[in-house]
């Protein structure tokens, strides 16, 4: 009989674990009421309350069965891995053939908060979440790292880690990338249907025109939507802004929702709104728009960073405490840090690769796409995008509660 894990010593975390054991919350229940804010508050409670990574939850990694169980379950966002006409993933097939490790690849992430809500109970208990790895955004991964909810990565199994670009090698939440490693990065900006709006969008104020009322969607990622609004209000989102600036941005968004300018606040499914014509303009992620045009065979949609600036983010591999296949995941990460493989993925997903040397291979494969500033950005392009500053645990919980009230009420 499997023994129950020892309760964490921290009284706040112990109380959470006991509650989770008594009550299994469904996603529908969790997202009711305070919804995503409750999920974030729970995750904040698991944090050390300091800037130190390695939270003390009392959890221990699952026994690694990789040597006998050659399998991985990998959760990712939609349109985020190279695909052929038969819906196979060539780079993943190469890995499976090379290593004999099978991969159940699932496009199960539509938003960081909703995905966390889905795996919350198992994650907090250190149990198997059903996923051996997932690629959440750095801000969420930082919460998992500080909360002690993810395993240490063995660098010896990832020799290609040396190919990680320097700028991403030492984030404040995980110096040396011992518990996380980037998958892809990208920009958040504004996308629009060029047939319905041939004049395009240059500033955020261009969105709020009478003909676009009810035809706008914004992202359910706080750092992207509020980040874009803050920059339009003249705030440097990488600096030490605070409650007053956040309140101004929240009030701005709330007013646009109340006045029915915003059709939906959503994750990746904003692409469906654009395709159906339900939306003409969307706060959007750069690679999605390039991929939508590729599938159409012409440039029906455009993407741009507003003149006030766009956000820059990274989605990142991590291995939850309950995964029994960490070594298998490390082997797969090493495969994707081969520059040639990274180039193959980048040219298909149209996001920014974190792998040094990938552009050289990309130029040989498709010179035109390799020169795309949204995939291999120059220093000038990068200067127009900004990283949302790190939030304290208290800010993260409080700001998300305010943001989620608008998301759930939209």
197-224 pLDDT tens trace: 999 999 999 999 999 999 999 999 999 9
11-182+317-366 belongs to which CATH class? alpha beta
pLDDT of residue 79: 84
Better-scored residue on pLDDT, 41 or 315: 315
pLDDT > 50? residue 19:
no
- Burial class for 297, CB neighbours closer than 10 Å (0-12, 13-18, 19+): exposed
Q: What is the mean pLDDT of residues 99-116?
A: 94
- The CB density around residue 9, as the number of other CB atoms within 10 Å, is 10
- Mean pLDDT value of segment 116-139: 96
Report CA-CA distances (Å) from 286 to 19, 127, 301, 347, 372. Answer: 40, 35, 11, 13, 11
When pLDDT is averaged across residues 38-59 and rounded to a whole number, the result is 50
Taking 50 as the threshold, does the pLDDT of residue 73 lie above it? yes
33 with 41: CB under 8 angstroms?
A: no
Other Cβ atoms closer than 10 A to 394:
11
CA distance 331 to 324: 14
Is the separation of the CB atoms in 326 and 319 below 8 Å? yes
Q: Tell me: pLDDT of 56 over 90.
A: no
Domain boundaries, given as residue ranges, for the chain: 11-182+317-366, 186-312+387-405
Residue 345 contacts residue 94 (beta carbons within 8 Å): no
The b-or-e profile of 230-253 (16+ CB within 10 A means b, else e) is bbbeebebeeebeeebbeebbebb
Average pLDDT, the chain: 87
Residue 331 and residue 310: Cα distance in Å, rounded? 34
The answer to whether 385 and 187 are in contact (CB under 8 A) is yes
Residue 155's contacts (CB-CB under 8 Å, 6 or more residues apart) are: 161, 178
At the top level of CATH, the class of 186-312+387-405 is alpha beta
Strand runs labelled E in 151-194: 181-193
pLDDT of residue 53: 35
Q: Are strands 385-386 and 310-318 parallel, antiparallel or unpaired?
A: parallel
Contact 105, 9 (CB under 8 A): no
Q: Give the pLDDT confidence score for residue 32 in this predicted structure.
A: 31
pLDDT score of 409: 82
105 forms beta bridges with 74
pLDDT of residue 273: 96
Pairing assessment for the beta strands 262-266 and 181-193 based on DSSP bridges: unpaired
**pLDDT attached to residue 35:** 40
Task: Give the whole-angstrom CA distance, residue 23 versus residue 8.
Answer: 18
Q: What is the pLDDT of residue 209?
A: 92
HSE at residue 232, side-chain half, CA atoms within 13 A, is 21
> Whole-angstrom Cα distance, residue 377 to residue 279?
28
Confidence of residue 268 (pLDDT cuts 50, 70, 90): confident
pLDDT in tens, 153-178: 999 999 999 999 988 999 888 999 99
Total H helices, total E strands in the chain = 16, 10
What does the radius of gyration of the chain's CA atoms come to, in whole angstroms? 21
Share of residues in the chain with pLDDT > 70 (%): 86
User: How many CA atoms lie within 13 Å of 81's alpha carbon, on the beta-carbon side?
Assistant: 23
Predicted local confidence at residue 46, as pLDDT: 52
Decide if 11-182+317-366 and 186-312+387-405 have a common fold.
Answer: yes
């Amino acid at each position: 009989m499997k023994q129950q894990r020892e309760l964490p010593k921290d009284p706040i975390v112990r109380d959470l674990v006991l509650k989770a054991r008594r009550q299994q919350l469904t996603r529908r229940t969790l997202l009711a009421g305070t919804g995503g804010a409750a999920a974030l508050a729970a995750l904040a409670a698991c944090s050390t309350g300091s800037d130190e990574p390695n939270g003390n939850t009392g959890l221990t990694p699952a026994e690694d069965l990789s040597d006998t169980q050659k399998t991985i379950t990998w959760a990712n966002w939609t349109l985020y891995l190279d695909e052929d006409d038969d819906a196979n993933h060539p780079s993943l097939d190469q890995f499976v053939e090379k290593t004999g490790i099978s991969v159940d690849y699932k496009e199960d992430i539509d938003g960081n908060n909703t995905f966390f809500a889905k795996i919350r109970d198992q994650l907090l208990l250190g149990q198997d979440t059903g996923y051996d790895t997932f690629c959440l955004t750095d801000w969420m991964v930082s919460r998992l790292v500080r909360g002690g909810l993810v395993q240490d990565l063995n660098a010896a199994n990832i020799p290609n880690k040396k190919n990680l670009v320097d700028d991403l090698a030492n984030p404040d939440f995980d110096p040396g990338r011992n518990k996380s490693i980037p998958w892809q990065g990208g920009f958040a900006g504004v996308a629009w249907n060029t047939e319905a709006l041939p004049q395009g969008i240059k500033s955020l104020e261009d969105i709020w025109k009478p003909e676009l009322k009810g035809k706008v969607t914004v992202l359910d990622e706080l750092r992207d939507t509020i980040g874009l609004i803050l920059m339009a209000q003249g705030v440097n989102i990488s600096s030490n802004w605070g409650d007053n600036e956040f309140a101004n941005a929240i009030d701005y968004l709330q007013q646009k929702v109340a006045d029915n300018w915003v059709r939906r606040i959503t994750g990746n499914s904003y692409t469906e709104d654009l395709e159906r014509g339900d939306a003409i303009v969307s706060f959007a992620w750069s690679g999605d728009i390039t991929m939508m045009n590729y599938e159409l065979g012409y440039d029906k949609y455009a993407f741009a960073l507003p003149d006030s600036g766009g956000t820059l983010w990274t989605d990142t591999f991590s291995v939850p405490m309950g995964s029994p296949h960490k070594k298998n995941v490390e082997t797969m990460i090493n495969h994707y840090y081969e520059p040639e493989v990274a180039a193959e993925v980048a040219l298909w997903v149209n996001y920014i690769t974190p792998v040094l040397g990938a552009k050289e291979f990309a130029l040989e494969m498709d010179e035109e796409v390799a020169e795309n500033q949204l995939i291999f950005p120059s220093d000038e392009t990068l200067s127009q995008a900004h990283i949302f500053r790190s939030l304290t645990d208290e800010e993260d919980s409080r700001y998300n509660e305010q943001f989620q009230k608008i998301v759930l009420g939209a």
